[in-house]
Structures are given as C-alpha cells and as structure tokens.
C-alpha cells in the first residue's frame, strides 16, 4: 500500500480526551476516532490491527475444535426474562422497543441466545460436546466508559459457549480453551498472566482471567514468585500474621469518642494498631441486612462477601438501619443484624468496636464471647507482601488488563432455560456449559499499553497493521525509482509493506513512522545513492542496521520468520 493512497490522519498534539497511552496513540496515529462517549470508529490502519487479532483468534479456536457462528445483536426480552437476567443485569443492558412495543435489548453477552439456539435440536448425549464461538460487537451501558478502547460502551468481543453431558467433558474443553487462549496471547506478542478469578455475576464454578501486564491496568493481580500462584485481588487468598505485638486486654468499658467515625481516627484516638479494631460495615442484601466485620487493618472484599452469603445483590447500606448510628457500629449487643465475620477477626484476642450509640466505642470486646457471628469466612482482601496461600513465598501485586476470561458455567443457564439432553437411558438432564471471552478491541489497546515509548506505538509484529514501512526521502527521481523497486520486490515476496511515497519532509516521515509503530523501517535517500547501503531500523529496540540492497529480501524474510516462530 502506498501511504499517499491510505487515509491516516495523524495528530501532532495530544487530544484532551486521552487519559492513557493507548487512547492517546490510537487517536494520534489516526487509527480510531471517537463518535460519542465510549463509542469509536476504526480507521483503515486501526481496523487492520483488529483483523489481525481476529485472525489469530480464529486460527487458534478452530485448532481447538470450536465452530464459528454469528448471533444477533438485537435480542428479544423474553429470552432474558427466561434466564432471569432481564432484571438482574439492570442498567448494564441497553433496552429498547420496536414500533409494536415489543421489548428488546442489545446483547451485552450471548448466553441466552446461544442456549436458545441449540436447546430445541441438540437433544442427545451423542451430539455432545459442542463448542461454538463468534466475534461480535457487544454493547454495555458502562457506568463510566473511559480510557478509549479499554473500557468502551461498544466493543468487539470473541465469545464462545460449550455444551456438555458431564463435568469431565467440560473440564477437557475448558483445558483446550485455556491452552488456545495461551497460544492466542502469545502469538499476539503480549506479556500476560493467567490468574484465578472470581466468577462474579456470570455464575459458575472455576474461572480464569488472562491479564496483559501493564502499569495502567485497571485490575490488580497478586502472584507468588516461588509457586506460580496468581489470582485477581477480588479472589486472592493469603497467609497473614496474627496480632503481633501483644497488648493486654483492658476492662470492657465504653469510651467517649466524639466524632470519631473512621478507622484512621480511631487508631489515633485509642492509640491502637488496626489489628485491635473491629471494622463494622452494614450491607443490605436482597432480603436481609448484614453487619460485616473485618479487622481495622484489613479491607473488606465485597466479592468474597457476596460469594459467602450467596447474595449477588449486596451493597453498602447507605440509608442506615433502624436507629443504629453510622460510624459507631459494633458486632456486639442486641441489634438484630446478621453478623458475618472474617476468619482473622475470630483470632483477635480482643478489640475496640463501635458501641452502637453515637460518639461511643467499646474496648475489650472479645470475639466468641461478646459476640458470636452467624457466619465466619474469608471476606478480606489479600495484599502485597502477605504470604502465599499455597507455599512459603510472598505475594506480589502487579497491574494488569483483563483481555480474556473463561468460566465453567455449569447448569445455570441450561436449567433456567430448559436446555436438556437425553442420556443413554433416555433420561433428561440440563447440559453443562462453559463460556469463554476475549475482548478483541481491548486486546488491541492493551498491546499498546504494554508496547510504546515517548515517540509512539511499538506494535508486536504479529498484530502490526503492516510489517515494514519504506521511507523515501527527497525528490530525487533516482531515489524514487530505487524505492519503487524495493517496494515491488518486497510486496511480491508477500511482505506486508506500506510505502511512504508522500512529498513530505524527512522529519515528518521519521516522526510519523515512529508514531505508527510499524516494526521495520527502511530508509531510502541520498545516502543510499552515495553509499549503496540501506538503513533499517527495528522499531521495537530502536536498533539500526545497514544492508546491501541484494541482502535486503533475505534479511527481512529472516526477521519476519524468526519473530513468527517464537
């Protein structure tokens, strides 16, 4: 492709909307343009990258035995009401009505439509397992779209759904998909980690996330260097030391603590470390109120709390409960609330809690004596520096971008939607399901978050919009002729090459080549006529090479081949 014939509107200045490197560079390199909040158009160069990622995904999934389908964007409300998610999903779904007042939503995901597709005809155990995938645009009314393609309202996603007659079969497909995902992200040239994850609102049992490592990532991952344990902070466990410095328990008595409603304030007022304070948080679930207790030094983990209580509708109760005063809550006494305590709380010898009346706390509260929780479990967040739950190592925290997520769904959807199969004895059972997602457009952005410098993008070769960019400097007719020869030779050899044949000044061409991030840059100018040597720069390492023209094709092919075989 000649650069004079392709539309690449680059920007010299950083657009104000851009908060993060991938967002800025995608805009500046003329790859995407914003249409509305969280909604983007892809320009020719940007779309080429999307297609490269899609292609790698297709190849690896076909290898894993998945079949490509294409499901609709517009879903009838009935399907979602059947699964119960019409209300459960809440405002995340964009809902609309047609002229006859029929209700629809724009698919934020496709479990319902997929299950519906197979439930009437896929009836026998002999037809299982099956694994279907599609690459589709999803629409989710995110609370706050941001960071360009990283959290968009409309985005491209590869989703896959598998159906099984037994758990062993699901396990096997799950493993195949796990492997396929590893191949996909490796082939995309990305540094990623697989981590244990929380299943969240999707439901199900096992779940793993694929995280591209990048400082700007929205997710935190804890991992252990010695045994390889890795988990999302939403789920991670850890080994923690108990109350270290022993403080003798004081007499139980109420203390006047005017206006002290925070743990930080209480630490100062009482001159005690957080391990001696009870942090009490009031939660409202679907039916009940809960008082969740963790140590003052710990963070409550809402995901763990939801999992423990089996209630996905939990949220912090902002309206309060009866006449219990905000900021002075405690687990003890006759308040009528269900108390859920963290395991570590029960190991505290004593502590200070709110007195359940304004401006007072109580010291000398002993777990198990002064209060007995209705439920005990791990409801705190693990942290950097704590012990690995599997070995003697230490957990480290890193930032990542979630680009893939696989779940063992089980029978959540097949039960609610009556997707049954008949076994050898003619008996009906709900199919066992798995589901597997990859954020295609997010992967593109994540690749940039991980691979860029102050001058622009550094595309990993396999997903770069072009492999080689040829710069022609000056107006010399001979330089132009030589450039054309090189361009034709490489093109003919199957190299994806873009030729900057524009009448721009050298500075513009060099800077834009850096910005666009094409992996190899070949420069042809007056110097070439003088020395007969071509200059090649590897954009990734910013290393330069000098070559005779006769060596060029072999050198380039070697370079491209080596990278591809990694």
Partner RNA sequence: CGGAGCGUGGCGCAGUCUGGAAGCGCGCCUGCUUUGGGAGCAGGAGGUCGAAGGUUCAAAUCCUUUCGCUCCGACCA
Residue number with CB closer to RNA (79 or 150): 150
Show the site string, 310-349: x = touches RNA by CB under 7 A, - = not: -----xxxxxxx--x-xx-x--------------------
> Does residue 300 interact with RNA by CB under 7 A?
yes
Residue number with CB closer to RNA (296 or 389): 296
Strands of 369-508 (E only): list them.
375-377, 395-410, 420-422, 428-430, 432-439, 452-453, 456-457, 468-472, 497-500
Q: For residues 558 and 564, what is the distance between their CA atoms, to the nearest angstrom?
A: 10
Q: Which of 17, 288, 374, 453 binds RNA (CB under 7 A)?
A: 17
Q: For residues 119 and 283, what is the distance between their CA atoms, to the nearest angstrom?
A: 39
Show the site string, 487-506: x = touches RNA by CB under 7 A, - = not: ----------------x-xx
Residue recorded with tokens 């423990």: 308
Length, in residues, of the chain? 566
> Does residue 564 interact with RNA by CB under 7 A?
no
Angle, vertex CA 235, rays to CA 150 and CA 350, nearest 5: 130
* Token pair recorded at residue 231: 């988990």
φ/ψ (deg, to 5) at 402: -75, 110
DSSP state of 312: T
Residue number with CB closer to RNA (110 or 279): 279
Q: Give min distance, CB of 555 to RNA, in A.
A: 17
Which residues 6+ apart lie within 8 Å of 421 measured at CB? 122, 123, 124, 125, 127, 128, 165, 428, 429, 431
Q: Which of 7, 13, 244, 271 binds RNA (CB under 7 A)?
A: 13
Residues 145-204 close enough to bind RNA by CB under 7 A? 145-147
* Candidates 5-13, 105-113, 203-211, 551-559; binding stretch for RNA (CB under 7 A): 5-13
Q: Which of 7, 12, 101, 561 binds RNA (CB under 7 A)?
A: 12
Contact present, 490 and 553 (Cβ < 8 Å): yes
* Token pair recorded at residue 383: 């942290």
> Does residue 455 interact with RNA by CB under 7 A?
yes
Q: Give min distance, CB of 45 to RNA, in A.
A: 14
Q: Hey, which residues does 396 pair with through a beta bridge?
A: 223
H or E element that contains 79? helix 77-83
* Candidates 69-77, 162-170, 259-267, 434-442; binding stretch for RNA (CB under 7 A): 259-267
> Does residue 442 interact with RNA by CB under 7 A?
no
Q: Which of 98, 264, 347, 392 binds RNA (CB under 7 A)?
A: 264
H or E element that contains 194? strand 192-196
Q: Where do the H-state alpha helices sit in 193-339?
A: 263-270, 302-309
> Does residue 96 interact with RNA by CB under 7 A?
no
Q: Which of 105, 341, 537, 540 binds RNA (CB under 7 A)?
A: 537
Residue 341's nearest CA partner among 290, 311, 377, 310 is 377
Residue number with CB closer to RNA (321 or 555): 321
Q: Give min distance, CB of 432 to RNA, in A.
A: 33
> Does residue 6 interact with RNA by CB under 7 A?
no
> Does residue 30 interact with RNA by CB under 7 A?
no
Strands 520-524 and 468-472: parallel
φ/ψ (deg, to 5) at 31: -100, -35
Residue number with CB closer to RNA (90 or 506): 506
Show the site string, 349-388: x = touches RNA by CB under 7 A, - = not: --------------------------------x-------
Q: Where do the H-state alpha helices sit in 352-428?
A: 412-416
> Does residue 458 interact with RNA by CB under 7 A?
no
Show the site string, 395-434: x = touches RNA by CB under 7 A, - = not: ----------------------------------------
φ/ψ (deg, to 5) at 255: -115, 140
User: 10 Å Cβ neighbour count for 128?
Assistant: 18
Angle, vertex CA 11, rays to CA 9 and CA 16, nearest 5: 125
Q: Which of 448, 473, 498, 518 binds RNA (CB under 7 A)?
A: 473
**In angstroms, what CA-CA distances link 285 with 49, 235, 311, 316, 419?**
44, 20, 6, 9, 30
> Does residue 263 interact with RNA by CB under 7 A?
yes
Helices 167-187 and 44-63 meet at what angle, rounded to 10? Answer: 140
Residue number with CB closer to RNA (238 or 381): 381
Residue number with CB closer to RNA (111 or 514): 514
Q: Give min distance, CB of 261 to RNA, in A.
A: 4
> Does residue 11 interact with RNA by CB under 7 A?
yes
* Candidates 14-22, 71-79, 175-183, 247-255; binding stretch for RNA (CB under 7 A): 14-22
Q: Which of 144, 287, 322, 492 binds RNA (CB under 7 A)?
A: 144
> Does residue 547 interact with RNA by CB under 7 A?
no
> Does residue 65 interact with RNA by CB under 7 A?
no
Q: Which of 92, 281, 391, 422 binds RNA (CB under 7 A)?
A: 281
User: 10 Å Cβ neighbour count for 527?
Assistant: 15
Q: Is 177 helix (H, G, I), strand (E, B) or coil?
A: helix
Q: Give min distance, CB of 265 to RNA, in A.
A: 8
Residue number with CB closer to RNA (264 or 374): 264
Residue 336's nearest CA partner among 321, 346, 315 is 321
Q: Give min distance, CB of 167 to RNA, in A.
A: 34
**In angstroms, what CA-CA distances link 95 with 81, 88, 157, 228?**
13, 13, 20, 43
Which residues contact RNA by CB under 7 A? 10-17, 19, 28, 36-38, 143-147, 261-264, 279-282, 296, 299-302, 315-321, 324, 326-327, 329, 381, 455, 473-475, 503, 505-508, 510-515, 523-528, 535, 537
């Amino acid at each position: 492709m000649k650069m004079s014939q392709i539309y690449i509107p680059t920007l010299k200045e950083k657009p104000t909307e851009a908060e993060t490197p991938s967002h800025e560079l995608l805009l500046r390199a003329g790859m995407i343009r914003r249409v509305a909040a969280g909604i983007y158009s892809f320009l020719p160069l940007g779309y080429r990258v999307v297609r490269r990622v899609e292609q790698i995904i297709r190849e690896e999934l076909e290898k894993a035995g998945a079949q490509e389908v294409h499901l609709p964007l517009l879903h009838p409300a009935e399907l979602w009401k059947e699964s119960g998610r019409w209300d459960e999903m809440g405002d995340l779904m964009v809902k609309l009505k047609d002229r006859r007042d029929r209700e629809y939503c724009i698919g934020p995901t496709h479990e319902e439509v997929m299950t519906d597709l197979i439930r009437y005809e896929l009836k026998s155990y002999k037809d299982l397992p099956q694994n279907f995938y599609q690459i589709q645009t999803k629409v989710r009314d995110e609370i706050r779209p941001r960071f360009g393609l990283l959290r968009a309202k409309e985005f491209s996603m590869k989703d896959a759904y598998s159906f099984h007659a037994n758990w062993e079969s699901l396990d096997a497909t799950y493993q195949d998909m796990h492997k396929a995902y590893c191949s996909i992200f490796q082939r995309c040239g990305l540094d990623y980690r697989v981590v244990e994850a929380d299943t969240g609102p999707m439901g199900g049992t096992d779940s793993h996330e694929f995280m591209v490592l990048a400082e700007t990532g929205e997710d935190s991952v804890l991992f252990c260097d010695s045994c390889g344990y890795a988990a999302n902070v939403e789920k991670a466990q850890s080994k923690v030391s108990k109350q270290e410095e022993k403080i003798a328990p004081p007499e139980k008595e109420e203390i006047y603590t005017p206006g002290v409603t925070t743990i930080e304030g209480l630490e100062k007022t009482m001159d005690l470390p957080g391990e001696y304070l009870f942090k009490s948080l009031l939660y409202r679930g679907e039916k009940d109120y809960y008082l969740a207790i963790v140590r003052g030094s710990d963070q409550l983990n809402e995901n763990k709390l939801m999992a423990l209580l089996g209630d996905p509708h939990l949220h912090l109760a902002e309206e309060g409960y009866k006449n219990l005063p905000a900021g002075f809550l405690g687990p003890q006494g006759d308040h009528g609330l269900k108390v859920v305590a963290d395991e570590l709380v029960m190991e505290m010898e004593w502590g200070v809690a709110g007195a359940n009346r304004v401006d007072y706390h109580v010291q000398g509260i002993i777990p198990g004596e002064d209060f007995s929780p209705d439920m005990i479990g791990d409801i705190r967040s693990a942290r950097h520096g704590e012990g690995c739950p599997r070995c003697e190592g230490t957990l480290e925290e890193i930032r990542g971008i979630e680009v893939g997520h696989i779940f063992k769904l089980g029978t959540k959807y097949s039960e609610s939607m009556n997707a049954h199969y008949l076994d050898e004895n003619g008996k009906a059972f709900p199919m066992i399901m798995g589901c597997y997602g990859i954020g295609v457009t997010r992967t593109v952005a994540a690749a940039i978050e991980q691979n860029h410098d102050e001058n622009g993008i550094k595309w990993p070769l396999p997903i770069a919009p072009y492999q080689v960019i040829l710069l022609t400097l000056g107006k010399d007719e001979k330089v132009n002729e030589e450039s054309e020869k090189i361009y034709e030779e490489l093109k003919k050899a199957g190299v994806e090459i873009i030729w900057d044949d524009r009448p721009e000044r050298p500075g513009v061409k060099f800077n834009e080549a850096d910005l666009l991030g094409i992996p190899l840059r070949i420069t042809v100018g007056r110097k070439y006529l003088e020395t007969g040597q071509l200059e090649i720069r590897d954009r990734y390492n910013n290393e330069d090479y000098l070559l005779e023209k006769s060596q060029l094709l072999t050198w380039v092919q070697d370079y491209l081949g080596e990278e591809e075989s990694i």
